[in-house]
Amino acid sequence: MKYFKLLIISVFFLSVSAVSFAQSDSAVKNIEPEVLNTVLNNATVQLVDVRTPNEFKSGHIDKALNINYYDQDFSVQIGKLDKSKAIYVYCRSGVRSKYASDILKKLGFKEIYNLNGGILSWNTQNLPLKK
């Protein structure tokens, strides 16, 4: 009986570990502004600004694609991007891009990076914006 309980407990913990490992496969990773800037300077990436078009026009990170999180067809628009490549998302403060990252996960994107603190954090580091 003692071994049976030990076996049940072991199976439970292995199951929980397996589920956690599977979910971490497409986990969203927060990235700091300086790191994103380095990535952008050294590679071509899918960079998506999920703010409104007016916010985007006020200043955005160079080469960013604007897909408004509030658009009715946001999932359709963002779902057209390449799921096999890393995707970087940002917004004003990091909230909308976090929600957008959750949608990306559900759509099957595997490598998702969210700009920690959004464009506000980017500005705090005096990194370049395009207008």
Q: Is residue 131 flagged as an active site residue?
A: no
In the set 50, 78, 91, 115, the catalytic residue is 91
How many Cβ atoms are within 10 Å of 126's Cβ, its own excluded?
Answer: 8
Question: Under 8 Å CB-to-CB from 49, ≥6 apart: which residues?
Answer: 55, 56, 60, 61, 64, 65, 66, 67, 89, 90, 91, 119
Which residues are annotated as catalytic?
91
